[in-house]
Amino acid sequence: MRLPARREAPDVRYVAGSFAVGVFLPSVAGGITFPTLPRLEILLGLSPAVVGLIISTTGGVRLLSNAPVGTLLDRIGTRRPLLAGFLLVSVAPFGYALGMDAGAVSLDPAIVFMASRVVAGVGSALVLVGGYAMITAVTTPENRGQWLGYMLGAYGLGFPVGLVVGGVVADVYGVRAAFLLGGGVSLAAVPPLFLLLPDTSPEVDRDGGLRAIPALVRSDRRFAVLGTVNGILSFLSRAFLTSVVVFAARLGLELGGLGDIGVSGVILAVVTSFAAGSTLVAGRYSDALDDRVSLVLPALGVMTIGFVTVALVPTVVGIMTGGAVAATGGGATGPVLKAYLGDISPAEDVAKLGGAYDVFGDLGGVLGPVVALPAASAVGFDAVYVGCAGLGVVTAVLTANTLRSATVSPEPARTE
């Protein structure tokens, strides 16, 4: 049974609002643990290749899990998978803490960290796809962008907060304490969500399974274009966040006594904060528009200007300003595109299409670092960022030609 989705109904505010707060906490935990993971080579003597594999495992597992998770959600509803997802992402940091002492209990630390990252990948797929499906179920087109924006914005904002907290705790109390804190912070989200999450069960007794997803995506060109746009935007985000660290080092940037590592950390915090801020605002604003996709084109224009600024002004101020501008534009597109996907998805296939949409996004996120760094070495960072701007233009053309040319049929009122 689905909950009623009246805009003024308190259940929408409590359910979607509590989920936005709940997803903030695992994101903070991810930020707390992230600064330490690349240092496992130094801390545990692991090879760079193994450390890289450990870091990339969560994204790869989530990429493979999104579609099966979407199918599962359309089959059994969202409550149980969501709670399981929050528990899994909470377990992972405790696994990292165990990995620091793995040798003392005759375990291979690399395997412990890898297993923990696998758990985190499955858990994050359940949380993100399940959260999208649940919020889509309890909202209407008139308030869907608002609540998806709050969810995505809270998730994005938690990471830079965690970066600051994790760095301080690791320096003062040690790496193990930072991992344990991350697990505790994430676990704190579970009890309130256990009380507040509804059981948004499927409306129909139909499940096409994984094999139905490709045909479902092909059934409406907009689904494929939405996924492609999401993949390009994720590619651009990860390409910038990865390359800017190396770019700052190559330029030898300094700021207030900070070296290139400190400068890159400040840039990352600023960029992710601006992305989260625009995400929080854009979804709600799009709800008031007759055509919410009309907001995407100016946002992409802003993003493109940001990348060009980074390419043309390779200074601390130029990179930070350009990165913040690009992040503002890119962040504003997230809730709008997801709300639009919810508007046009058949009720019985919301989670499957949400999972397919996230597959494109995670694929772009995986390819971003793989392509950006070798390309920067070959043609230069300025050329890479100009190329990013060009991809922004391609994304705008796809949006204008397909998404803006289509209309969304009004959604019938949902009843209990």
CA 17 to each of CA 191, 213, 271: distance values in angstroms, whole numbers, following the listed order: 15, 30, 25
CA 261 to each of CA 35, 37, 154, 241, 312: distance values in angstroms, whole numbers, following the listed order: 11, 15, 26, 13, 22
Q: Report pLDDT for 203.
A: 52
Tokens 């499927």 belong to 202
d(CA 100, CA 88): 19
Q: Is the distance from CB of 368 to CB of 236 less than 8 angstroms?
A: yes
* Element spanning 155, H or E: helix 144-173
Q: Is the distance from CB of 92 to CB of 57 less than 8 angstroms?
A: no
Burial class (CB in 10 A: 0-12, 13-18, 19+), 105: exposed
Below-70 pLDDT ranges, the chain: 1-11, 199-212, 257-262, 404-416
CA 4 to each of CA 8, 9, 81, 90, 178: distance values in angstroms, whole numbers, following the listed order: 10, 8, 21, 31, 41
Q: Is the distance from CB of 186 to CB of 317 less than 8 angstroms?
A: no
Tokens of 300: 């992409």
CA 321 to each of CA 65, 249, 252: distance values in angstroms, whole numbers, following the listed order: 36, 18, 18
Q: Report pLDDT for 270.
A: 86
Q: CB under 8 Å to 105, separation ≥6 — which residues?
A: none
Burial class (CB in 10 A: 0-12, 13-18, 19+), 37: middle
d(CA 113, CA 301): 40
Q: Report pLDDT for 370.
A: 78
Q: Report pLDDT for 6.
A: 40
